[in-house]
Chain A
Amino acid sequence: MPHAITRRAFAAALIALSLAACDKKPNDPAPIASQPPAPTAKLTVLAAASLSGAFREIGAAFETANPGVKLEFSFAASNQLRTQLENGSPGDVFASADRKQMDSAIASKVVDSQTSRVFTHNQLVVIVPRSNPAKIESLADLARPSLKIVVADKAVPVGNYTRLMLDNAAKDAAMGEKFVAAFDASTVSREQSVAAVVAKVSLAEADAGIAYASDAKGASAAKLTAIPIPTALAPRADYLVAVTSRAANPKLATKFIEFLLSPAGRDTLAKHGFTPPEPASN
């Protein structure tokens, strides 16, 4: 009998301990940040996979401009990051590749809606391997038979934009539903992030993929060629950023967002293929 009680007590203690640990984690950086001299402050930025190149560069500049600040990035598909935030993942800034994921994050109260704003745009493009084995020159070429096209799953922002582009194409006189049917028939995979689309096209395992203009300027630029998609068809990708509700250091998080919108931030984003926001857009 006492054995059983010990066992139960142990289990209870274990659960209590694990709950305490869960509870503590998000607040962990707080004591460090609130120390008056604050020799180091850590800022965790959860950002869409497509931002990785630009944000790494902006992050380095931000650290130089703010001595003692250490930035940490977590890059993944925006939908994955949003799900992580909703399940208690620590993070101070959330940068999403579409409005949908930011709206969901606002709805589930994991970001501060007051701080949410558009900070840059991206354009959908067709990417083909540098060797261009299928000799694709335009979006319309993607209707040719026996191609291998890779897109992102519609759960991922770029996959959602791809779907919208195809919906527009179906209604377009020049492209039409025939184009969309041929495109879908040639689609061999719906990848879990834009990075996976870029990787498979870079390896020339696929003939073409749909990604962002910024991807063709990133690390894989040498292996890819970007073909523009007519602006009437391609929805402009809106990138939104916000401070999370549980940010350990909201002031520093806001400072980072301001840095993104500063001329230096805009220049770096433009260099990586992003389009700056229009003054009125928000």
Chain B
Amino acid sequence: MPAILSLPLFLLLLVPIALLVARSSPSAFLAELTAPETRSAILLSLLSSTAALLVTITLGTPLAYWLAHTGSRVAALAEAIVDLPTVLPPSVAGVALLLALGRNGPIGAWLHALGLDLAFSPAAVVIAQVFVASPYFIRAARAGFASVGADLREAATIDGATGWGLVRRVLAPTAARSLGAGAAMCWSRAIGEFGATIIFAGNLPGRTQTMPLAVYLGFEQSLDRALVLSTILIAISLAVLVGVRFLAPLESDNAP
């Protein structure tokens, strides 16, 4: 019975995606793949999402560690704030980023005075992706760090591990699966980012037009391009999601 009841929603999730992939013909696929606008969108998406992932790992790991081990009451509120971008419409994130970091925003005006304009730049693409995708990494990393018991940390400390050594030798290896799964989720969410990007970074082929933006504009202009890019996005996302299940079968409950 549950199997039957689960069918409608499962089909809703599967059928449109399957039909979309089935609709792109191999010859059109190859022709579109060599078009400069398609290639620049793919390249920009790969570069920006990788940059977003690196920023997230660098700045998100300490945050996740703090969230996991601080007893502070502030942490519960901080966790909610970190999770906020996952439930907000990305367009809200885009407007917020434009108003804060645009050249007339409180932070953006200050950067503008230093000669740095973020809006409409490839950096804005990365910032939008970090804003929307980093919570997926932080959440998984926090759970991974929390799973390292106090006894193990104490034992390691007694054996002389401190600071960075503790993180590198004990915590990171123990939480590695969670960190890896979180990183994969973060990267694939970043590569699919659309709403915040088009508002904060704009849309310019070769500069800020990522794959999702090219799909949106291509939908009316060149359906073939939209289909090719959609198929690539679906393939990447599916590979990541399947990979995450192999990487962290135990922590899948914690992974977002």
Contact = CB atoms under 8 A, between A and B. Distances in A.
Interface stretch (A90-98, A167-175, A182-190, A260-268): A182-190
B42 to A, nearest CB: 18
Contact of B221 (A7, A155, A187): A155
A275 interface: no
Nearest to B99: A203
Given A14-B11, A189-B204, A203 B104 contact: yes
Interface string A175-196: 0000000000001111110001
Chain A interface, >50% SS class: mixed
Interface stretch (B2-10, B54-62, B152-160, B183-191): B2-10
B119 A10 contact: no
Interface string B19-57: 000000000000000000000000000000000000000
Contacts, number: 65
B111 to A, nearest CB: 13
Contacts of A154: 221
Interface in B123-139: none
Contact of A189 (B3, B7, B202): B202
A203 B102 contact: yes
A187 B3 contact: no
A80 interface: yes
Contacts of A16: none
A122 interface: no
B220 A79 contact: yes
Interface in A67-95: 79-80, 82-83
Contact of A204 (B11, B104, B201): B104
Contacts of A187: 204
B120 A11 contact: no
B217 A188 contact: no
A14 B8 contact: yes
A11 B202 contact: no
B208 A189 contact: yes
A205 B103 contact: yes
A206 B104 CA distance: 10
Contact of A83 (B7, B11, B98, B219): B219
Contacts of A80: 220
A14 B208 CA distance: 42
A281 interface: no
Contact of B98 (A10, A148, A203): A203
Contacts of B3: 7
Nearest to A78: B220
B11 A11 contact: yes
Interface in B176-205: 198-199, 201-205
A190 B203 contact: yes
B7 A153 contact: no
Interface in B79-115: 98-99, 102-104
Contact of B120 (A79, A83, A189, A196): A189
B120 to A, nearest CB: 4
Contacts of A190: 202-205, 217
Nearest to A148: B120
A28 B144 CA distance: 53
A154 to B, nearest CB: 8
Contacts of A188: 120, 202, 204, 207
Contact of B220 (A14, A83, A150, A189): A83
Contacts of B219: 83
B216 interface: yes
Contacts of B220: 79-80, 82-83, 155
A53 B32 CA distance: 39
Given A6-B4, A10-B7, A153 B102 contact: no
A206 B103 CA distance: 9
A189 to B, nearest CB: 3
Contacts of B11: 11, 14
Interface of B: 3-4, 7-8, 11, 98-99, 102-104, 117, 119-120, 198-199, 201-205, 207-208, 216-217, 219-221
11 contacts: A7-B7, A154-B221, A189-B120, A190-B217, A196-B199, A204-B103, A204-B104, A205-B98, A205-B103, A205-B104, A205-B120
Given A14-B8, A189-B120, 10 more contacts: A79-B220, A150-B202, A153-B203, A153-B217, A155-B220, A189-B204, A190-B204, A192-B216, A200-B202, A205-B103
Across the A-B interface, the 9 shortest Cβ-Cβ residue pairs: A189-B202, A188-B120, A155-B221, A205-B102, A79-B220, A155-B220, A190-B203, A83-B220, A205-B119
